[in-house]
Structure formats: C-alpha cells, structure tokens
C-alpha cells in the first residue's frame, strides 16, 4: 500500500491543498503550526473516519466554511490505483472508494482494502511520535521493562497498564489479612448483622400490630386529604366563575344576535368596490368627447395633402439610374488608366523578348505548356541539380573522416586484447574466490550455532529456578484462599446457608486439587534434544572448515577485478569498431546512390527542355530562369488582351447610362439639356419633394389610427366598469345603490359582532373551567353562599385530619422505640442485602482473577510462539543502530521485562541503559513489530519527530535503517532543519504557515 496523492478540500487551516507524487520515503518539513499534525490527522481521518463530536480528539473542522474532508489516491497490491474520498456526513463522514476498474464502494469496501485494520491498532503499530519516547524518560525501574515488553506486543504501553490495573483491582477487593478491601469489610458486616437479627426476633409480634394500626390511620388520612382537595377545587372553580360570568353571558348574547342577522348575500368589500367603480366611470365621458373632435380635424388635414403617385411608382428605376452617375465618372477614370497601362505592357513584352531571344512569335510562345505540373517538374529538376552538387562535397568530406576513425579503433582493439588474462587462468582464480566465500558462510553459521547452545543452556537453568519460585508463591496464595473458603463453609453450616456451604466445599476441593498437581518445568526434554542436535551440527561445521585451503584471496580478487575492467573496456571498443565499420560502409553506399540520382536528373532535364523549345546550352545553366521568362511573357500578353476587352466594355456601359437618364428628364421635368449632372440634380430634387408629401400624409394617417384606437379602448373600458357595477348590485340582490349601501351597513355590524366574539373567546381560553362546568354554574344564583358552605366542610375535615395526625405521631413514636436496634424485618432485609453484596463482590473478584490468569497465559503463549521472531528482527535492528555494541534482547524469566546484552556479554535491565540507548531499543522493537507480526499489512509508517534527542551519528543510523524497509512507505514529519541533509532533496515536501508547495 502506497499513498501517491493527497488532496485536502478543507481540514483545519488547510484548504484546497494538493500534494502529488509522494515517494517511498517522503519527508514533510515545516515550522510549528505549518500543518504537519493536521496532515497526519487528515490521513488517519480519511482512512478510518473523522473523530465524532463526543470524542476527545480534535475534529479539525474548517473555520472558513469550506468543504470538510478530502481524498487520497493509494496504490494497493492486486487492486491498482484506488481513490478514497471522505467528506462531511454521518458520524465518521461519508466515504466513497473508487477502484481502478471503475468499481465504487463505501466503508465496507475500504475496510476490506485495509484488512479490517482499525484506527487504534494502526496508530499503535505504524504511527508513533516523540510521546512514546517521552514515556520512556518518565519511567523508572521495573516499569520501563514492562513498557518495552508491552510495546513489543501491542505497539503501546497498554499491556503494562492493564496488568497493573488488574492487580490493583484484585487488591482493592480482597486481601487475606486486610481490613479495608471491599470483601473483607462485607464479611465483617455480615457477621455483625447476624447477631443483631437474633435479638430483634423477640420483639417482632408487638411490632406487627403497630404496623397494622399505622396503615389504617394512613388510609383514613389519605381519604380525608382527597376530600379536602376536591372541596378546595370546587371553591377555586366558584372563584373563577365570579371573574368570567359576565364574559360568558356576553358571549351567549352575541351568538344570538349573529343568528338573528342570518346569512346576508353581500360581496366582499362591496361598499369599497362600488365607490371605486363610480370614481373611475365619470372621468371617461370628458375624455371620449375630446378624442372625437381630434379625429375629425385629422381627417380634414389628410384630404388637403396629395402626393404624385405615378412619379413615386417609378422611384426604384429612377434611383437605379441616378446611382449610375458615380459609376459613369468612375468608368471615365478607369478608361484613362487602362490606356496608360496598355502602353506600359507593350514596353514589358519588348524587354522580355530581348532577354529570352528565342526564334518564336507571340502565338508560338502562348502555345508552350507552362501549367503547374510542368512548372513543378522544372523547379524539382533545378533544385535537385543544385542539391546533388552540394551532397557530393559533403560525401567526400565524410568519407575521409570515417576512414580515419576506423583505423584508430582497429589499433586500440589490438592493444586491449594483449592486456587481458587468458580464459583458463581466469577460471582457476574465480574457483579460489568462490571457495573462500563458502568458508566465511560456514564460520558465521558455526558462530550462530554456538550462540544458540549458550542461550538454551542459560535459559534452561533460569526457567527451572523461576518455575520453583512461582510454584511456591502460588501454593501460599491458594493455601490462604483455601482457608478462607473452609471458614465460609463452616459459617454456612452454622447459619444453615447451604449455598455458602457448597461454595466453600467446592472451592476447597479445587484448591486441594491444584496444590496436589505439581507440573515439571515445560520443555526440559525438548531443550535437551535441541542441545544434542546443535552439538552434532557444531562438529560437522568444524570438520567442513578444516577442508578449506588458505589463499591470498584479496590479491586474487583485486587481479580479477582489474581483468574484468579490461574485458569490459575491450568489449566496448569492439562494439564501437563494429559501429564504425557500419558507418564507413554507409558512406560508400551513399556515393553509389548519388551517381544514380545525378544520371536520372540529367536525362529528365533534357526531356523537359525539348518540350519547352529551350536550347540545351541554355537548359544546362539557366533552365529555371528561361522557364520563368516564358511564364512572364505569357502573363503580360494575357493582361494586354484583357485591357483591350475592358476598354470596349467601358464605352458600351457609358452609352447605356446616358440613354436612361435622358428618358426620365423628358417625362418629369420641363428644363432638360445635355448636362448629365444638372439633369440628375433636378430629378433628385423632385423625388425628395414628393417623398416629403407622402411621409407627411402617412404620419397624419398613423395619428388618426392611434386616436381612433384610443377612442375605441376608452369606450370598451367605460362599458366594462358599468358592467362590473351592475354585477355588484346583482350579487347583493338589490336594484339600486341606496339599497346596496343599507345592506352593507348590516354586514359591517355582523363583522364587528364576530370580532368581539373572537376577542371574548381569547379571554375565556385561559380559564380553568370547561364548557360543561360553565353551563352548570350558570344555574347557580347565589355563588357567595355556596362558597361559604364549602368553607365550613373544609374546616370540619381539617380538624379531623389534625386529630388523626396526632394519633399517627404517637404510633410512629412507639414503632421508633421498637426499632432502636432495627426491626426484625429491616435487619433481615439488610442481612440479605449485605449477603447479596458479598456474593456480588466475590463474583467481581473472581472475574478480575480469571482475567489476570488469562492475561498471564496469553503473555506466556505470545512469549513462546510469536515473540522470538519479533525479537530476532529487533536484535538485528538494535545491532545496526548501536554500531554492534548491543546484539541480544532476552526475555526475563519472571515478569514481562527485557534484558539487553552488550557485545561483551554483559546483561542490562532497561532502566540501567542510557536514555539514548533505551530509545534505540524502543525504536527497534516498534519497527520489528511492524516488520514481523504485522508483515502482511504493508501500511505506511508515520513518524512524527521521534528522533530529535539523538546525536548526529544516531540520527544517521536510524535514517539508514528506515531506508531498508522496502515493504512499507515512510512518511516522516519534522520541524528540525538540521535533519534535512540526511534525505534526498526530491523527497522533501516543504510546508509553510500560509501555504503548502504542491508536488506535481
């Protein structure tokens, strides 16, 4: 798994940030508050979900309102490039996963891709920071060893904390000789309550009679109290009635009035609407009269204007003729220019004939083929002739250069062949080197076998001692527990509590069975077998070492290396020689190709010159220039012919324009002559005058149409308003406006009554009296007298209640006297309760005891099954980081700590090491955990400034170690600039407080 791109839509103070092309070892450098922690939290959030609002983690929601979330582009083995996008949504955010083949999914698909890895486990294994190292600095003694062991199992210190918490919980609940633990206190309380329960049994009969009397008095007091509440409720209702009875009566009167008025058919806002219609109808009369007068006036003015319609009908033809005047003048100018140009063309033709000097007349020259194809052939032949001349010079120079280079390379190859070692001699030397390498491997294997033998012998002795000590401690603990269980059984027999008796007996039997079952230290036979196998293997390796011969391998290896360099140089020279021979042959082939092309081109030139009637002596030197002169002659000749034709057309067009204008001047104007410009002016002036009359007439007609339309519109609007007023009268079912207004006054009165009724209902809605109660109280004539009667009843009941309460107090006092030491039933209840609490506390204690046992068994299994492989890798890392000073990490036989072995075989506990060495042990264990037990999860390892306390040499070593982790991408976050020279420049991403540089 490799993260290739990061795109942050909005997360904390980062907005619309894209980081592309992340490397296998990516470094993020930035000062404080540049966004390093934000990017790390973003990676965890996209992969495992945003923190919920109830979580103690920061959510990094944007403050500027931008979109919350982003996406990652990740390469997964077997799935290709996958896009994981998570935005604001439900608790953890809405996630969309898009595979390379276009398949999409949600949270389930993402969990499948991540192998069901959760956020807590990922942070514990693959993400660590300086806080883990700070925990090491704060611990002392045995805590440090437990912390390192917990780190090697879970990636965090949770195992050590869990073990301490379980022991603390067990001691808080029970100690064999303790007084304060919960179970000890509850056992003491149960014994004390048992003696008090016996004393209280004698007073039980008298106590039960007083309890019966007390219950009777309580029932009577309850009934009287209920009656008092009902009476007080009636009094409250009567007092409320005195406040609202006037409103209730008014409400009933208004309802009757509304019923008497009945339903009145009257339009909504009828009076307002009819008054508004009358205000609109009256002004229309004056407006209609004024418009009719204006219409008559316009009709008279239109009749007085009469334009010449016949003249205007010929307007288009006349304008077309007048528009020809500028064309006539332009044609006159063009005629003069053509005549001048004709003279110039004749001079050009004469000049071309002198330069070309061919025995051909004009018609013969025009008959020569000068089309595009012929021109293209002439240009190609001429260009190729020039190019072939240049190529010949280049080939001659190239031939001389390639020949010189070829001779030099042949000489170098001959010299290099004389310097290399013969093949048979080289094979003999290589065999000697191979045998020496095999000897080194055997020596390393022998040392490893001897180390294992020493380790197993030491482990066997330590395990025997530790087993005897632990067995003795467990015997003492279980003996104490057995005594307590026997005491519990005797107590159950004495108090006839058979459950306690059974529990005590069964527990004693189980303790006895455990004490009788002493197991020997495990794996003694296995260790003996392994030791014998290792001894046999040691003998075989020593014999194998004796079979190797001693030789000066370093000198032989140096000689082979020098020979290899010479052979590589010779091979390179041979390759260059082959290439040069190829180049030399290519130059020769190009000479042959040039001669063939030159003959073909000359043959084509002679053929074209015959077709163009160009002599051979001219074609050999000036073929293209002669063809261009022929083209130029034909072009100028055609232009001369076109000019002569154009002069004839100009004369014809001018005569047509003159004849057309002469026709219109005779028809429509009195003064006409031969002046073409004056005739055109008079015709335009008359056309303008007739147009003015026509426009004025049309304007008057348009105004007349507008006034007639307005007059029609006003009459329609006035009729519509009158019709609306008539409809209002019909809706009210009246014939005139006076009756309409009278009916409107009645409607207004009814509306006011309805409004008053609504106001009364608003006041009554806050009353506690319901409609039925109001109806009942309407029939009461003297409310004050009724209230007085209720007060007398309340007084009598209150007096009786006081007497019962005194009697109740006396009985309570007698009961209290009997309960000085606690009544029998209460003591029995308390005894059972305490007994239940004791049993419940014992169950809790047993749960923690079982949990501690399970944890111990799990740790033991882990130590035997998985921890050795992890420790082997951690030893390899520690050996590298400490520059071979520390090479072993041993498990302590008791507890969950580690012993670190130095190169001189001295053992140290974790707290005895220096601060920097302890940190190196921690880093080695964390990286080994990810590389062994979680090797199938190729997740990126996130490191946040975890090595700032290391000196320069230790920092260099840890970075070298990280570069060897090829299966995991490394994301390294730092704010320390002095670390940057240790990394490649292209792998460093610079972060700034205001922005992030984008990697593309």
Backbone angles phi, psi at 87, to 5 degrees: -130, 175
Q: H or E stretch including 272?
A: helix 270-281
Q: 644-675: string of b/e by CB count within 10 Å (b at 16+)?
A: eeeeeeeeeebeebeeebeebbeebeeebeee
> How far is C-alpha 646 from the chain's CA centre?
78
Task: Please give the pLDDT value at position 895.
Answer: 52
Highest mean pLDDT among 45-49, 235-239, 575-579 belongs to 45-49
The number of angstroms, rounded, from the C-alpha of 455 to the middle of its chain's C-alpha atoms is 53
Q: What is the mean pLDDT of residues 258-287?
A: 76
Q: How many angstroms separate the CA atoms of 473 and 163, rounded?
A: 18
Pick the most confident of 42-51, 323-332, 381-390, 470-479.
Answer: 42-51
> How high is the pLDDT of residue 202?
57
DSSP character string of 559-594: HHHHHHHHHHHHHHHHHHHHHHHHHHHHHHHHHHHH
Structural contact between residues 190 and 831, judged by C-beta atoms closer than 8 angstroms: yes
Instruction: For 598-631, give the DSSP string.
Output: HHHHHHHHHHHHHHTT--HHHHHHHHHHHHHHHH
| 712-751 pLDDT, tens digit each | 888 888 788 888 878 887 777 788 878 777 777 777 777 7
Contact of 942 with 933, CB cutoff 8 Å:
no
Residue 608, burial from CB neighbour count under 10 angstroms (0-12, 13-18, 19+): middle
Per-residue confidence (pLDDT) for residue 1000, from 0 to 100: 38
Q: Give every CB contact of residue 356 below 8 A, 6+ residues apart in sequence.
A: 626, 629, 630, 633
Hey, how many other C-beta atoms are within 10 angstroms of the C-beta on 620? 13
User: Residue 988: is its pLDDT beyond 70?
Assistant: yes
pLDDT at 138: 46
Q: Give start and end residues of each alpha helix (H) in 24-103.
A: 36-48
The strand pairing partners of 11, in sequence order, are 14
- pTM higher than 0.85, yes or no? no
The token pair at 498 is 């058979």
Evaluate if residue 860 carries a pLDDT over 60.
Answer: yes
List Cβ neighbours of 590 (8 Å cut-off, separation of 6 or more).
Answer: 395
Q: Could you say which DSSP state residue 43 is in?
A: H
C-alpha dihedral, 568 to 573 to 575 to 577, nearest 10°: -170
Q: What is the mean pLDDT of residues 834-855?
A: 73
Task: Return the SS3 of 736.
Answer: coil
**Sequence-ordered list of residues with C-beta below 8 angstroms from that of 226, at least 6 positions apart, any chain:** none
Q: Closest Cα to residue 622, out of 354, 378, 393?
A: 378
The confidence band for 161, taking pLDDT boundaries of 50, 70 and 90, is: low
pLDDT for the residue 207: 65
Residue 139 has pLDDT above 50, yes or no: no
Q: Are strands 80-87 and 69-76 parallel, antiparallel or unpaired?
A: antiparallel
Q: What letter would DSSP give residue 996?
A: B
| Chain mean position to CA 899 | 46
CB 217 within 8 A of CB 807: yes
- Which burial class, exposed, middle or buried, applies to 223 when counting CB atoms under 10 A from its CB (0-12, 13-18, 19+)? exposed
CA distance 358 to 656: 46
Our measurement of the distance from residue 512's CA atom to the centroid of its chain's CA atoms, rounded to an integer in Å, reads 64
Structure tokens at 370: 């000068």
Strand partners, 972: 27, 943
Buried b / exposed e along 622-636 (16+ C-beta atoms within 10 A): ebeebbebbebbbeb
Closest CA to 105 of 79, 134, 126: 79
DSSP count for the chain of H helices, then E strands: 28, 14
Alpha-carbon span 585 to 944, nearest angstrom: 65
> Cα separation of 976 and 36, whole Å?
12
Question: What dihedral do alpha carbons 271, 273, 278, 280 form, nearest 10°?
Answer: 160
- Segment 786-813 mean pLDDT: 82
Burial (0-12, 13-18, 19+ Cβ within 10 Å), 377: middle
> Cα angle at 408 between 404 and 411, to 5 degrees?
145
Per the CB < 8 A criterion, the answer to whether 105 and 94 are in contact is no
Distance CA 411, CA 415 (A): 7
Q: Which residues of 385-410 are buried (b: 16+ CB within 10 A; e: fewer)?
A: beeeeebeeebeebeeebeeeeeebe
Q: Are 243 and 863 in contact (CB under 8 A)?
A: no
pLDDT tens, 421-478?
A: 887 877 877 777 776 667 667 777 777 777 777 767 776 676 667 666 666 766 776 6
The beta strand positions in 771-928, using DSSP E, are: 886-891, 898-902, 907-909
Q: What is the mean pLDDT of residues 827-837?
A: 71
What pLDDT sits at residue 6? Answer: 92
* pLDDT classification of 141: cutoffs 50, 70, 90: very low
Position 70 pLDDT exceeds 90: yes
Q: Which two tokens stand for residue 300?
A: 């008279």
Separation between Cα atoms, residue 447 and residue 455, nearest integer Å = 12
Are 679 and 668 in contact by the 8 Å Cβ rule? The answer is: no
Region 318-333: mean pLDDT is 78
Could you tell me what percent of the chain has a pLDDT over 90? Answer: 2
User: pLDDT band for position 34 (50/70/90)?
Assistant: confident
Evaluate if residue 23 carries a pLDDT over 60. yes
Cα gap 632→634, rounded to integer Å: 5
Averaged pLDDT for residues 399-406: 84
Rg (CA), the chain: 60
Return d(Cα 730, Cα 732) in angstroms, integer.
5
Q: What is the overall mean pLDDT for the chain?
A: 77
Query: In whole angstroms, what is the distance from residue 392 CA to residue 305 CA?
Result: 96
Q: Indicate whether 263 pLDDT > 80.
A: no
- What 3-state DSSP class applies to 672? coil
Per-residue DSSP letter, 981: G
Residue 881, token pair as written in the block: 């980081």
DSSP of 431-465, one letter per residue?
HHHHHHHHHHHHHHHHHHHHHHHHHHHHHHHHHHH
Percent of the chain with pLDDT over 70: 81
Using an 8 Å Cβ cutoff, are 90 and 71 in contact? no
* Residue 998, pLDDT score: 43
DSSP state of 29: E
Q: How far apart are CA 132 and CA 147, in angstroms?
A: 10
Residue 899 CA to residue 882 CA, distance in Å, equals 16
Q: For residue 96, what are the β-bridge partners? A: 85
Q: Which of 702, 706, 683, 684 is nearest to 694 (CA)?
A: 702
Decide which of 140 and 192 is more confident. 192
Beta strand 80-87 pairing with 898-902: unpaired
Residues 6+ apart with CB under 8 A from 228: 794, 797, 798, 801
**Tens of pLDDT along 753-786?**
888 778 877 877 777 777 777 777 777 777 777 7
Smallest CA-to-CA distance from 48 within 80, 91, 17 is with 91
Of residues 196 and 45, which shows the higher confidence score? 45
Task: Give me the pLDDT at residue 156, please.
Answer: 46
Please measure the distance between the N-terminal and C-terminal CA atoms of the chain and give it in whole angstroms.
20
Q: pLDDT at position 319, please?
A: 76
**How far apart are alpha carbons 588 and 574 in whole angstroms?**
22
Residue 205 CB-half CA count within 13 A = 1
Mean pLDDT of 539-550: 68
């Amino acid at each position: 798994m490799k993260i290739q791109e990061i795109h942050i839509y909005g997360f904390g103070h980062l907005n619309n940030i894209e980081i592309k092309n992340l490397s296998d070892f990516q470094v993020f450098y930035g000062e404080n508050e540049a966004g390093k922690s934000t990017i790390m939290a973003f990676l965890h959030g996209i992969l495992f979900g945003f923190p919920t609002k109830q979580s103690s983690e920061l959510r990094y929601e944007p403050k500027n309102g931008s979109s919350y979330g982003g996406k990652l582009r990740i390469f997964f083995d077997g799935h290709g490039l996958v896009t994981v996008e998570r935005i604001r949504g439900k608790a953890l955010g809405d996630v969309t996963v898009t595979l390379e083949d276009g398949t999409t999914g949600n949270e389930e698909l993402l969990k499948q891709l991540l192998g069901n890895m959760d956020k807590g486990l990922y942070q514990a294994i693959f993400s660590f920071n300086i806080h883990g190292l700070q925990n090491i600095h704060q611990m002392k003694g045995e805590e440090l060893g437990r912390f390192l062991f917990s780190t090697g199992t879970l990636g965090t210190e949770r195992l050590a904390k869990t073990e301490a918490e379980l022991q603390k919980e067990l001691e808080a609940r029970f100690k064999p000789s303790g007084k304060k633990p919960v179970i000890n206190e509850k056992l003491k309380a149960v014994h004390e309550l048992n003696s008090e329960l016996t004393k209280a049994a004698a007073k039980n009969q008298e106590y039960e009679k007083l309890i019966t009397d007390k219950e009777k008095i309580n029932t009577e007091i309850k009934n009287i109290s209920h009656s008092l509440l009902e009476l007080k409720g009636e009094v409250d209702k009567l007092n409320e009635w005195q406040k609202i009875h006037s409103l209730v009566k008014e409400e009933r009167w208004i309802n009757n009035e509304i019923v008497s008025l009945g339903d009145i058919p009257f339009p909504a806002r009828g009076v307002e609407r009819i008054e508004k219609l009358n205000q609109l109808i009256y002004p229309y009369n004056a407006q209609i009269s004024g418009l009719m007068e204006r219409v008559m006036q316009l009709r008279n003015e239109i009749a007085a204007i009469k334009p010449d319609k016949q003249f205007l009908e010929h307007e288009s033809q006349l304008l077309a003729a007048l528009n020809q005047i500028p064309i006539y003048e332009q044609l006159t100018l063009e005629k003069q220019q053509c005549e001048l140009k004709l003279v110039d063309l004749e001079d050009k033709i004469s000049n071309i004939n002198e330069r070309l000097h061919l025995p051909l007349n004009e018609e013969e020259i025009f008959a020569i083929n000068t089309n595009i194809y012929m021109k293209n052939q002439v240009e190609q032949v001429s260009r190729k002739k020039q190019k072939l001349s240049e190529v010949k010079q280049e080939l001659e120079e190239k031939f001389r250069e390639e020949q010189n280079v070829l001779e030099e390379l042949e000489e170098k190859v001959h010299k290099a062949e004389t310097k290399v070692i013969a093949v048979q001699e080289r094979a003999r030397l290589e065999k000697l080197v191979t045998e020496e390498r095999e000897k080194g491997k055997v020596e390393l294997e022998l040392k490893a076998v001897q180390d294992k033998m020493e380790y197993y012998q030491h482990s066997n002795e330590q395990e025997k001692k530790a087993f005897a000590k632990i067995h003795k401690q467990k015997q003492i603990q279980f003996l104490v527990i057995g005594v307590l269980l026997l005491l519990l059984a005797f107590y159950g027999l004495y108090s006839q509590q058979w459950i306690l008796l059974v529990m005590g007996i069964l527990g004693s039997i189980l303790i006895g069975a455990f004490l009788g079952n002493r197991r020997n230290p495990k794996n003694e036979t296995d260790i003996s077998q392994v030791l014998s196998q290792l001894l046999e293997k040691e003998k075989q390796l020593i014999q194998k070492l004796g079979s190797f011969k001693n030789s000066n391998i370093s000198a032989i290896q140096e000689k082979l290396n020098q020979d290899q360099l010479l052979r590589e140089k010779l091979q390179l020279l041979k390759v260059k020689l082959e290439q040069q021979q190829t180049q030399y042959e290519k130059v020769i082939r190009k000479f042959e190709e040039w001669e063939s092309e030159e003959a073909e081109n000359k043959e084509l030139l002679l053929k074209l010159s015959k077709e163009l009637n160009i002599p051979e002596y001219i074609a050999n030197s000036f073929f293209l220039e002669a063809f261009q002169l022929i083209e130029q002659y034909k072009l100028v000749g055609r232009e001369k012919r076109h000019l002569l034709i154009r002069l004839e057309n100009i004369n014809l067009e001018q005569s047509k324009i003159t004849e057309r204008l002469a026709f219109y001047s005779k028809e429509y104007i009195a003064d006409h002559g031969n002046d073409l410009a004056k005739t055109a002016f008079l015709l335009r002036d008359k056309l303008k005058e007739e147009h003015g009359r026509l426009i004025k007439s049309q304007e008057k007609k348009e105004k007349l149409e507008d006034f007639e339309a307005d007059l029609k519109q006003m009459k329609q609007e006035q009729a519509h308003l009158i019709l609306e007023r008539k409809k209002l009268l019909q809706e009210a079912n009246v014939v005139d406006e006076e009756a309409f207004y009278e009916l409107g006054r009645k409607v207004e009165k009814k509306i006011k009554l309805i409004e008053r009724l609504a106001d009364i209902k608003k006041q009554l809605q806050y009353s506690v009296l319901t409609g039925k109660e109001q109806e009942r109280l309407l029939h009461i004539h003297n409310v004050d007298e009724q209230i007085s009667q209720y007060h007398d009843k309340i007084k009598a009941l209150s007096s009786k209640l006081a007497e019962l309460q005194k009697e109740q107090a006396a009985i309570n006092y007698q009961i209290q006297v009997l309960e000085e030491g606690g009544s029998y039933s209460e003591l029995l209840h308390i005894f059972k309760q305490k007994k239940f609490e004791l049993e419940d506390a014992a169950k809790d204690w047993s749960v923690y005891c079982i949990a501690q046992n399970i944890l111990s068994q799990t740790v033991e299994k882990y130590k035997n099954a998985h921890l050795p492989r992890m420790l082997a890798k951690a030893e390899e890392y520690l050996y590298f980081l400490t520059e071979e000073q520390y090479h072993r990490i041993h498990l302590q036989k008791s507890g969950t700590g580690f012993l670190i072995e130095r190169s001189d075989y001295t053992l140290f506990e974790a707290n005895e090491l220096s601060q920097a060495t302890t940190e190196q042990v921690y880093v080695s264990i964390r990286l080994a955990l990810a590389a062994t037990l979680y090797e199938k999860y190729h997740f990126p390892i996130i490191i946040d400034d975890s090595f700032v306390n290391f000196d320069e040499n230790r920092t260099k070593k840890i970075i070298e170690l990280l570069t060897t982790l090829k299966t995991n991408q490394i994301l390294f976050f730092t704010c320390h600039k002095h670390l940057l020279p240790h990394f490649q420049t292209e792998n460093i991403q610079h972060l700034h407080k205001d922005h992030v540089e984008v990697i593309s």
